[in-house]
Structure 1
Amino acid sequence: MALTLPAHPDPLDEELAATGLLHDLAHAFGGPFHYVLPERFDANLAAFRTALDEAAVEGRVYFAKKANKAAAFVERAARAGAGVDVASHGELREALAHGVRGEDLVVTGPAKSTRLLGAAALHGALIAVDAPDELDRVLALDTPRPVRVLLRRFPPAQPKSRFGMDDRQLEDALARCAQAGERVRMEGFSFHLSGYAVQPRTDLAADLVALCLRARVLGLQADRISIGGGFAVDYAPADAWQTFLDTQGPDDYHARKSFAASDFYPYHSPVAGADALRAVLAARPHGTGAPLAQRLREAGVMLLLEPGRALLDGAGSSVFTVQGVKDRADYGIVTVDGTSLSLSEQWFASEYLPDPTLHSTAPQPAAGPYRACVGGASCLDSDLLSWRKIAFPRRPRSGDLLVYPNTAGYQMDSNESPFHDLPLPAKVVLHREGGRLRWRFDHRPAC
């Protein structure tokens, strides 16, 4: 029996198949490409803002730019007055170039370069200070305005984390910020927490609210906290995901590769996106007392969040052209014109599991499931976009398209590389105009 994991249905898929637009684009580019859907980004952003409004919590949503390099998403964030989370000088430059104001940036990441710190300070960005020596460099900056900072707390529930300062380091950092006077504006605290569980995020957020109250005694502003991202995306129905986990094994993968369930992203999440934010706000920190939303309101603390993947849910897919098909004894090997570097999950000892769809230039009758893994165009044995033997409705043919759904969140470009001198897949923006779908290149300024 073929192992499948169908993604949630998307009505755009059928429309694109009917128009033939994807085949036209594949012909024009002569290689794989990604398409992005900025209107879906807009809807996801609006959903997060609605969740904050429903809880009567003052908040700010920052798009975590690392999740996708497309300029279109940063432009939409700027147009909507949202913030952008950047972690490098290049990301900061790109955000500014696409209309994001400096004061709408938050700068995260570990051990930021002095160049990045200086540029962020000059533009009035908010800097999440990760370590005492980073605070040393912030305090040494010569800037015409106070440097805006958050102090990042080490997460006690994740003792292996490499991010943040422990209690002793935070106490020292607070004292130094108070002594710095007008050179620094200490606006609050942040944390970096792995995983998607609701309660740990609520617990740590409440701890930061308490830290804000303590910091105010020292005369510091301390009126906001950042809880980062960690809002899951629900890719597939619950029953399909559970069946997949219960039945998958080495026989379902090329070369009998094995995966533990813990290796996979949770492709079904009962509480995802803006609903996950609602759950965080409604939960009682450490299981007792008032919900987090009430504590934020009573303390006058603004909530900052930095979703990436969750703002990109449904906002794009990746398209590859079939170059050839090789038959093995009981399954096939489909080779496409790109590499697994353009589907990033495969390079984290895991697998991107939502089923790709097969598109033909002409309708073809289904001939029963044809199981095949999907290999890339490189000469590496490990270059597989899908180790799993996908159940295609028929044997794919050269010239067919494989569309991997919902790849805008991290999958498209985290690890892309022009290996073999293959071009990086183009990014195109799809939008509706005059009742029809139109496309344009995603524009990025030259470096």
Structure 2
Amino acid sequence: MYLYGTQTVNEKGHLTIGGVDTVDLAHIYGTPLLVYDIALFKERAAAFQETFKKAGIQAQVAYASKAFSSIAIYEVAAQLGLSLDVVSGGELHTAVAANFPREKIHFHGNNKSYTELQYAFDEKIGCIVLDNFHEIEMIKEISEARKEKMNVLLRVTPGVHASTHDYITTGQEDSKFGFDLKNGQTDDAFLKLHNHPYIQLLGMHCHIGSQIFETEAFRLAAEALMTKMVEWRQKFKFTCSVLNLGGGFGIRYTAEDEPLHPSKYVEEMESTVLSMARTYNYPLPEIWIEPGRSLVGDAGTTIYTIGSTKEVPNIRTYVSVDGGMSDNIRPALYGAKYSAASANRMLDPHSDKVTIAGKCCESGDKLIEEAFIAQPVEGDLLAIFCTGAYTYSMASNYNRLPKPAIVFCEDGQHQLVVRRETYEDIIRLDIPLQKIGREQSK
């Protein structure tokens, strides 16, 4: 059993997070409950920031908030001096509600609407990452009509294959994201923006995928973008001031995963950029990165309550919990793996091999195919580790299940930051048929 961050086992045999007993949290807030170890989030952020500082490189570490978006986590990110990566009007609105420093907000996404781009101008955010020619035309129109300036980056696909699941690789040529670096699209995009009176092109951006453990792909991506930057300087006398190399740094979900320390990924990027800048006498650009999963992934733990147990002789034992694919779609979506433990019986032998099943009406609603836990008893608490990224942000109300509550824990204190949905929340947007009839008759 691998414990993360501040997780410990107390004298009662209960799992604690941030110095708080998870059994107490379950009694106070109910289950399913997503618990964040905020000290671990801070530790990971500091590790990225310190690596750049030691190298004396100007940098921005932007929290890729698609991993988990809420007002509270944005407030913590702001306190730590992080920048913020948002990918929709909704995430931008959350950042505005959190009073996040606008100049540190970067707006991503492969299909930004005209309204969303206007919203970005309204809030005077720090940068828009342009993903396609349609966005270039829209942002030119908006900036010219308003006579307002906006910083932009061009997102490019460097043709680098990262060793990860096909659903979360994004840097190859066949991608819905960005301008292809090899077929001339990136150059065409550059020329449409070069010397525009209101659009300030800062440089380029790439993101090659997620849950990547090796550094070679990051080195190759940095080389590809630096090569293009050198070419632009030679041809157009244009120098990129920013090189954004994205995120995708892997974390440990199970004992099979062997992630590197966050500093290792940054060091590989730094050395590549520094080496090429020296070789070509290129002014060292400011380096931006966008960790998301590697900041919040293993900082989050979901606590469930065990309900029914079903034994299928000679095949498997199903242990069902009070959540499932509605609060964590990743196992059903692309076979993501997790580890688990009996949160209220951590000292008992974890020798029962079971399948952790959710309560959604889908045969594929299995959170863990093979988990080793204490002999399951109805009412036991089950902790599934490393659920801090892409769980709540991808949660749904399938089967009309309410989304879980979220609690932050640190230094023995706990605070509710997202309340549990109620049944009334679920039907809040529903309109009874007779009301539609009355509206139409007016």
Q: Work out whether the TM-score is over 0.5.
A: yes
Aligned to 1:260: none
Structure 1 position 185 matched with structure 2 position 207: no
- Going from structure 1 to structure 2, the CA distance change for 1:21 and 1:204 (only over 3 Å counts) comes to closer
Unaligned runs of at least 5 residues, structure 1 = 1-5, 242-266
Matched residue SS, 1:156: coil
In 2, Cα distance between equivalents of 1:79 and 1:293: 32
Aligned to 1:176: 192
Percent of aligned positions that are identical: 24
- Going from structure 1 to structure 2, the CA distance change for 1:291 and 1:423 (only over 3 Å counts) comes to same
Aligned to 2:268: 279
2:337–2:368 CA contact under 8 A, matched in 1: yes
Aligned to 2:129: 128
- Going from structure 1 to structure 2, the CA distance change for 1:22 and 1:234 (only over 3 Å counts) comes to closer
Once the two structures are superposed, the pairs formed by residues 302-313 of structure 1 within 5 Å of their partners are 302-313=286-297
Q: Deviation string for 1:298-349 (max 9, x for gaps)?
A: 5221111111011125322111000122233244211111122322321223
What residue identity is the alignment partner of 1:129?
L
In 1, Cα distance between equivalents of 2:336 and 2:383: 16
- Going from structure 1 to structure 2, the CA distance change for 1:351 and 1:184 (only over 3 Å counts) comes to closer
Structure 1 position 357 matched with structure 2 position 341: yes
Aligned to 1:336: 321
Displacement, 1:292? Answer: 5.5
Displacement, 1:138? Answer: 0.8
User: Out of 425, 430, 434, which is 2:404 matched to?
Assistant: 425
Matched residue SS, 2:219: helix
- Going from structure 1 to structure 2, the CA distance change for 1:211 and 1:159 (only over 3 Å counts) comes to closer
Aligned to 1:25: 25
Structure 1 position 346 matched with structure 2 position 349: no
Aligned to 1:247: none
User: Out of 405, 415, 428, which is 1:440 matched to?
Assistant: 415
Aligned to 1:326: 310
1:178–1:219 CA contact under 8 A, matched in 2: no
Q: Which moved more, 1:412-421 or 1:76-85?
A: 412-421
In 2, Cα distance between equivalents of 1:231 and 1:150: 21
What residue identity is the alignment partner of 1:37?
D
- Going from structure 1 to structure 2, the CA distance change for 1:193 and 1:11 (only over 3 Å counts) comes to closer
Structure 1 position 14 matched with structure 2 position 12: no
Aligned residues: 396
Aligned to 1:162: 176
In 2, Cα distance between equivalents of 1:363 and 1:208: 48
In 1, Cα distance between equivalents of 2:42 and 2:388: 14
Once the two structures are superposed, the pairs formed by residues 115-154 of structure 1 within 5 Å of their partners are 115-122=115-122, 123-141=124-142, 142-154=145-157
**TM-score, length of structure 2 as denominator length:** 0.81
User: Out of 331, 344, 359, which is 1:377 matched to?
Assistant: 359
Displacement, 1:234? Answer: 3.2
CA RMSD of aligned residues (A): 2.8
Aligned to 1:391: 372
Unaligned runs of at least 5 residues, structure 2 = 161-171, 420-424, 430-442
What residue identity is the alignment partner of 1:327?
E
Q: Which moved more, 1:420-429 or 1:192-201?
A: 192-201
Aligned to 2:165: none
Displacement, 1:71? Answer: 2.9
Aligned to 1:55: 55
What residue identity is the alignment partner of 2:403?
L
In 2, Cα distance between equivalents of 1:295 and 1:193: 25
What residue identity is the alignment partner of 2:302?
S
